[in-house]
Structure 1
Amino acid sequence: MRITVDGVRADGRREPMLTSVGFSWATGEALLAAAEPGHGHTALALVATGRFVPSAGTVRLDGAEATSARLRRISAVVDVPGLNDPDDALTLADVVAEGLALAGRRSWPRDVARWLDAHGLTPDRGRRVDQLPGAVRTAVLAGLAVADPEVRFVVLTLPDRHGGDPADWWDLARSLAVGGTGVLVQCTRSSARDLGVDLPAAVGDTLHAPPRVVRREVLRPSGPDPEVEPEGDPGTRQDTEPAEAEEAAR
């Protein structure tokens, strides 16, 4: 699958939220888009995933103009400031329960415990999300986003604002792309430079430039979509535990 963003612009009440941007983005690819904070990151994340209708330009899916509903079904935005970033007072277990529910997964305490154990996070289940290292926070939220089997594209918005080594969240993006997800990571220009991208310091007009793709890695060539796990698969989407279902039937 491929999303093509063609000359999109998003106008605000007083000034543009996003000036003209264009790029293509396929499953199995990890893209790095750089710009200074406050200059279009949120608008681009929302436009590219069908969550905001652009003032100009088009967003296409596999060559055809895509409906907002279709784009929203196959994509997720992760940790967008002021939009879907988790409340800092929530514990990790709370965030996992909410994320599993949003992904259409069962989110009972035992399911949360299984997810945390599978990701080596059981000792941290009671920690507040604002106490987690930045790389762990981003990995948790991204992992919950792709727990929805319909999600094929993920946007990680400014993971560098939580500190840490940019290589950690870029490695996460690459690992998701290896699994067949299309990943767009939005970061500051300085973080892109830390990752080895040859970008000059932002001065003059570049201080207000919109995000632009400065790195692309194809980790898994785009091919046929994997089979989507059917609803009601045991242990994931059913509403009743097997033992409890058997008891209820008696």
Structure 2
Amino acid sequence: MDSPHGAAVKAEGFGLKGPRGWVFRGVGIDAAPGSLIALEGPSGSGRTCLLLALTGRMKATEGHAEIGRHRLPKKMAAVRRIAALGPVPGVNDLDQALTVAEQLREGAMLQRRYEAPLRTLLRPRGERRATARTRIDEALAAVGLDPAALPKGERTSVRDLERLEAVRLSVAIALLGGPRLLALDDLDLKLSDAERAEAWALLRSVADRGTTVLAVCSEAPEGVTVVRTGAEPGTGAAAPAKPVPAAPAAEGPKITWGLPPGKDTDPDAPATARPGPEEPPAPAAGAAEPATDHDEATEDTKGADDALAETGRA
């Protein structure tokens, strides 16, 4: 595949406050294009919300971030155009009823319809199909997924994929649009140690090709830029980050800490309130405002929403 120029990721005092208090706060990042960035923390520490905020899917309430020179929270739509989501439960899950071939074709069709220039849609159908097939083959090669090796080849049902195979498929679909930023949630969920190492090797290879990668995890490996959530500022020790070989030379990452849910809680906020849409008629003071795009859900129902409610995982 073509190697897109990755987006630099910078943040200063970045935070999101919900009705029950701060989901994350005081996050600082300074990562060069082509970096591999781990958002590390325990379940419920705001990891998923931070991921969605940095990709323009949730609106931060404090500080700012820059993704490829697009400043958040003002330029959320611009960030969404250059950032693709890999697996994020509750936001862009694979369709379990489809086969691998059908899922890939659907991804290519949506990418062509919503992201490709209008002139692309005017090309002959045979040419469009050939172009889509080429992009699919290149994406599969980039993630190391060989459909022929699956039990029923491309006709294998998505529901029958192993967890790591599903991750590879999701990443392949995300890469079809040539994003500058790739984001994944719960990378190490239900993976053995060996599979976890394979998953990180996959993301390193994507970063080496020029795409900046954000990945939520419980424990990051050595050699990546680490941003930790759920810790008091100034406590603990950040794992030293090593530069990604293909990334341009840059200063070492600036790592700060995000507050866990419940810190600095607003006592006057209603106990059961939820963040409303991005532009509600009468927004509540301090409420987090997620984006409203169809496939870019307001909150991860298994992560972001529960994190704000302080009863689940993020």
User: TM-score w.r.t. structure 2 length?
Assistant: 0.57
Given residue 90 of structure 2, which amino acid in structure 1 is its aligned partner? G
Tell me the secondary structure at the aligned position of residue 204 of structure 2. Answer: helix
Mapping of residues 191-202 of structure 1, within 5 Å: 192=220, 195=221
Is residue 35 from structure 1 mapped to residue 56 from structure 2 by the alignment? no
Is residue 58 from structure 1 mapped to residue 64 from structure 2 by the alignment? yes
Structure 1 vs Structure 2: percent identity of aligned residues? 27
In the alignment, the residues of structure 2 paired with residue 86 and residue 186 of structure 1 have an alpha-carbon distance, to the nearest angstrom, of: 18
Number of aligned positions between the proteins: 209
In the alignment, the residues of structure 1 paired with residue 45 and residue 30 of structure 2 have an alpha-carbon distance, to the nearest angstrom, of: 20
In the alignment, the residues of structure 2 paired with residue 110 and residue 181 of structure 1 have an alpha-carbon distance, to the nearest angstrom, of: 21
Aligned to 1:131: 160
Is residue 100 from structure 1 mapped to residue 108 from structure 2 by the alignment? yes
1:82-110 deviations in whole A, cap 9, x for unaligned?
11122333322232122212322798699
For the aligned residue pairs, the C-alpha RMSD in angstroms reads: 3.2
Is residue 77 from structure 1 mapped to residue 85 from structure 2 by the alignment? yes
Tell me the secondary structure at the aligned position of residue 95 of structure 1. Answer: helix
Change (3 A) 1:3 1:142: same
Partner residue of 1:154 out of 182, 188, 206? 182
Is residue 183 from structure 1 mapped to residue 213 from structure 2 by the alignment? yes
Partner residue of 1:219 out of 241, 245, 253? 245
8 Å contact kept, 1:31–1:217: no
1:111-156 deviations in whole A, cap 9, x for unaligned?
569836865214432223232222222122112212113x101112
Given residue 131 of structure 1, which amino acid in structure 2 is its aligned partner? D
Given residue 59 of structure 2, which amino acid in structure 1 is its aligned partner? V
In the alignment, the residues of structure 2 paired with residue 2 and residue 12 of structure 1 have an alpha-carbon distance, to the nearest angstrom, of: 27
In the alignment, the residues of structure 1 paired with residue 215 and residue 161 of structure 2 have an alpha-carbon distance, to the nearest angstrom, of: 20
Is residue 115 from structure 1 mapped to residue 144 from structure 2 by the alignment? no
| Structure 1: 5+ residue stretches without partners | 198-205, 224-250
User: TM-score w.r.t. structure 1 length?
Assistant: 0.71
Larger RCO, structures 1/2 (Cα 8 Å, 6+ apart): 2
Given residue 87 of structure 1, which amino acid in structure 2 is its aligned partner? D
Q: Which has the higher strand share?
A: 1
Change (3 A) 1:133 1:209: farther
Mapping of residues 234-249 of structure 1, within 5 Å: none
Change (3 A) 1:157 1:57: same
In the alignment, the residues of structure 2 paired with residue 45 and residue 92 of structure 1 have an alpha-carbon distance, to the nearest angstrom, of: 26
How far off is 1:58 after superposition?
Answer: 0.3
How far off is 1:32 after superposition?
Answer: 2.0
Q: Which has the higher helix share?
A: 1
8 Å contact kept, 1:180–1:222: no
In the alignment, the residues of structure 1 paired with residue 21 and residue 31 of structure 2 have an alpha-carbon distance, to the nearest angstrom, of: 27
Range that drifts further, 34-43 or 51-60: 34-43
